[in-house]
C-alpha cells in the first residue's frame, strides 16, 4: 500500500498542520472543510507557518514553494475519495466524524484507507460506520503538528496489518515517531494528560490555588514547559471537556468526572485561545487570569 496522495478533512488548527507536514514531505494533499472561510484561509496559514521554518533555517524557500504547490483546497468532500488515504481531522464530536465517513464511503476508491485524528473516540466504533473497517485506524497527531514529534497509531479491532504498516511508514516518512496505543478511551497521551488538567481545574474550583499559582507551581515544581491551565486554553476547553466525557462514559469511573468549572467555562463560550478567553483573557497584549 503506497501512499502518494492524502485527503485531509478539516481545515482547523489540526487539519492545516497535518496538511502542512504532508505537503512538505512530498505528498500531494487535498484539503477540505465545510466552512468556506476556513478553506480560504488554509493556504495562507500554511504559508505563514512555513515562513517561520524558513526563518529558522529548517526549510528552504524552495521547499516552501514546492509544499504549497502540492496543497490543494476543495469544497467537495467527494473528491477526496480518489486519494490513497483520507485523514479526518474535524471537531472532537463523534456524530460529526461519523457523518463525514458515511458521506465519504460512496465515493471511495477500492484501495483508499481511512484514518481519524481523534484524540479519544473509539476507533472500532468509527470504523464500523464505514464499508472498510479493515482499512481504518487512528492516526493521532499532536498539536502543533509541525513541531510535535509524536503520532499515536491506534488499531481498531478489524484493522489489518497492511493498513497499519502503511500508516507507520507514513509517520516515519514525516520524520515523526509513532507510539502504538490500544483502542481504549483517550488512548495514551490524553488518558494521562487530560485528567491531570481536569485535576488542576478542580484545584482552582476548590480554591486550593489561583490560576497563576497553579500554573507556576507545575512549571517550577514539576518542570512542565506550560502550566496545566495555560495548556488547557491552548488545547481548547471544549476539547478537554469532550475527552473527559469520553473517559467518564467509557470507564464509568468517577475519577474521570469532568470538573463543573470546566463545563461552566465551555457553557460560557470561553474555550481558551481560540475564543480569546478561557482561564486567561487573551484580548490584551498580555494574558490575564480570569479567576
117, 120, 122, 190: the active-site residue: 190
CA angle 259, 139, 116 (to 5 degrees): 75
Query: Which tens digits make up the pLDDT trace of 42-59?
Result: 999 999 999 999 999 999
Q: What pLDDT, on a 0 to 100 scale, did the predictor assign at position 2? A: 87
| Catalytic residue (one of 20, 88, 120, 140) | 140
Q: What residue ranges do the domains of the chain occupy?
A: 5-182, 190-289
> How many percent of the chain have pLDDT more than 90?
99
Confirm whether 20 is a catalytic residue.
no
| Residue 111 is among the residues annotated as catalytic for this protein | no
Query: Is residue 144 within 8 Å of residue 231, measured between CB atoms?
Result: no
Residue 285 marked ligand-binding: no
Is 255 assigned a ligand-binding role in the annotation?
no
Q: Annotated binding residue at 11?
A: yes
Tell me what the mean pLDDT of segment 105-131 comes to.
97
Tell whether 119 is in a known binding site.
Answer: yes
Can you give the length of the chain in residues?
A: 291
**Catalytic residue selected from 20, 49, 152, 230:** 152
Q: Is residue 14 a known part of a binding site?
A: yes
Mean pLDDT of 268-287: 97
* 1 has pLDDT over 90: no
Q: What is the mean pLDDT of the chain?
A: 97
User: Is 274 annotated to bind ligand?
Assistant: yes
- How much is the average pLDDT of 281-285? 97
pLDDT at 271: 98
Interatomic CA distance for residues 181 and 188, integer angstroms:
6
% of the chain beyond a pLDDT of 70: 100
Whether residue 28 lies in the annotated active site: no
- Coil vs helix vs strand at 152: strand
Asked if 133 contacts 127 with a C-beta cutoff of 8 angstroms, the reply is: yes
Q: Identify the helix (H) or strand (E) that includes residue 211.
A: helix 211-221
Cell of 24: 512538505
Comparing C-alpha atoms, which of 54, 3, 59, 15 is closest to residue 172?
3
Is residue 92 annotated as involved in ligand binding? yes
What are the grid coordinates assigned to 230, written together? 495555560
Statement: residue 225 has pLDDT above 80: yes
Superfamily grouping for domain 5-182: NAD(P)-binding Rossmann-like Domain (3.40.50.720)
Helices within 10-71 (DSSP H only): 13-24, 36-56, 61-69
Catalytic position from the list 20, 88, 117, 119: 119
Q: Which residues pair with 29 in a beta bridge?
A: 6, 71
CATH topology of domain 190-289: 1.10.1040
Reported as a single tens digit per residue, the pLDDT across 189-212 is: 999 999 999 999 999 999 999 999
Categorize the per-residue pLDDT at 66 as very low, low, confident or very high, splitting at 50, 70 and 90. Answer: very high
**62 is known to lie in a ligand binding site:** no
pLDDT at 173 over 80: yes
**Model confidence, pTM:** 0.91
Cα gap 29→73, rounded to integer Å = 8
* Residue 182: Cβ within 10 Å count: 9
Amino acid at each position: 500500500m503506497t501512499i502518494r496522495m492524502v485527503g485531509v478533512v478539516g481545515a482547523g488548527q489540526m487539519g492545516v498542520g497535518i496538511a502542512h507536514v504532508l505537503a512538505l514531505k512530498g505528498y500531494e494533499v487535498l484539503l477540505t472543510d465545510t466552512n468556506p472561510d476556513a478553506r480560504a484561509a488554509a493556504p495562507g496559514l500554511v504559508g505563514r507557518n512555513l515562513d517561520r521554518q524558513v526563518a529558522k533555517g529548517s526549510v528552504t524557500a524552495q521547499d516552501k514553494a514546492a509544499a504549497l504547490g502540492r496543497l490543494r483546497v476543495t469544497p467537495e468532500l467527494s473528491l477526496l475519495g480518489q486519494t490513497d488515504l483520507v485523514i479526518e481531522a474535524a471537531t472532537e464530536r463523534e456524530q460529526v466524524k461519523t457523518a463525514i465517513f458515511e458521506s465519504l464511503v460512496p465515493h471511495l476508491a477500492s484501495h483508499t484507507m481511512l484514518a481519524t485524528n481523534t484524540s479519544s473516540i473509539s476507533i472500532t466504533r468509527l470504523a464500523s460506520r464505514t464499508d472498510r473497517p479493515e482499512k481504518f485506524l487512528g492516526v493521532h497527531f499532536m498539536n502543533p503538528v509541525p513541531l510535535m514529534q509524536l503520532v499515536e497509531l491506534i488499531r481498531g479491532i478489524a484493522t489489518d496489518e497492511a493498513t497499519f504498516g502503511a500508516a507507520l511508514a507514513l509517520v516515519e516518512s514525516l520524520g515523526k515517531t509513532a507510539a502504538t496505543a490500544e483502542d481504549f478511551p483517550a488512548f495514551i497521551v490524553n488518558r494521562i494528560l487530560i485528567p491531570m488538567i481536569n485535576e488542576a481545574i478542580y484545584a482552582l474550583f476548590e480554591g486550593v490555588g489561583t490560576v497563576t499559582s497553579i500554573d507556576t507551581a507545575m512549571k517550577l515544581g514539576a518542570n512542565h514547559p506550560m502550566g496545566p491551565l495555560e495548556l488547557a486554553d491552548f488545547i481548547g476547553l471544549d476539547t478537554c471537556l469532550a475527552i473527559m466525557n469520553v473517559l467518564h462514559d467509557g470507564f464509568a469511573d468517577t475519577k474521570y468526572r469532568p470538573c463543573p468549572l470546566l463545563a461552566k467555562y465551555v457553557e460560557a463560550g470561553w474555550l481558551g485561545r481560540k475564543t480569546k478567553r478561557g482561564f486567561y483573557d487573551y484580548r490584551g497584549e498580555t494574558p490575564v487570569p480570569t479567576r
